[in-house]
Structure 1
């Protein structure tokens, strides 16, 4: 399931990164160190997953199991890090893939 989720998150991240200039307010961007520090201090979130997206960006998922909050960061090849999504009710899943040829 992890490869499927990673592929879905990577595709989602690539779409969001491609749409960044079109956003009205734009995402919260800055140095990775500062954004991670804020996630740790304000929300007690730590990194739960990461991967390399097709556009060579690094996608990271931060979450707090205590509060259920989560944040999705993308670090672009330029080094700029942007918070592209956040929310509540984070759940860590490890579901098996369906049998080949069968729907979900």
Structure 2
């Protein structure tokens, strides 16, 4: 697997959750600028990847390469950002695609 494949897998998972997350109670949502500032100042997390999902939503993965904490966010077109998932042990990967098996 490549890093891009892993990133796209994470983004696809976030996209599946995005549509329901943005319509749920807004307790885990705030203005994008505020969320980014809090992730940086509280957890030392910076954006590691980004992708577009359905309904013009943006899925982002933030992580700290120092502590290993990570957060997935979804932002709608109005700038409302919701926390989708978070965890520990973030790692950057640089895996390569396996060589396709030749037909016998």
Q: TM-score per shorter chain, which class?
A: 0.7 to 0.9
Structure 1 stretch displaced more, 74-83 or 61-70: 74-83
Which stretches in structure 1 are left out of the alignment for 5+ residues?
Answer: none
Name the CA distance, whole Å, in 2 between partners of 1:72 and 1:48: 10
User: For the pair shown, which has the larger CA radius of gyration, 1 or 2?
Assistant: 2
Which stretches in structure 2 are left out of the alignment for 5+ residues?
Answer: none
Instruction: Please give the TM-score of this superposition, normalised by the length of structure 1.
Output: 0.80
Contact 1:61 1:70 in 2 (8 A): yes
Instruction: Please give the TM-score of this superposition, normalised by the length of structure 2.
Output: 0.80
Deviation, structure 1 residue 21: 6.8
Give the paired residue count: 101
**Residues 1:71 and 2:71 are matched in the alignment:** yes
Quote the RMSD (CA, aligned, Å): 2.4
- With a CA cutoff of 8 Å and minimum separation of 6, indicate the structure with the bigger relative contact order: 2
Contact 1:20 1:27 in 2 (8 A): no
Q: Deviations over 1:8-41 (max 9, x none)?
A: 2232112111232786x76611101000111011
Q: More helix by proportion, 1 or 2?
A: 2
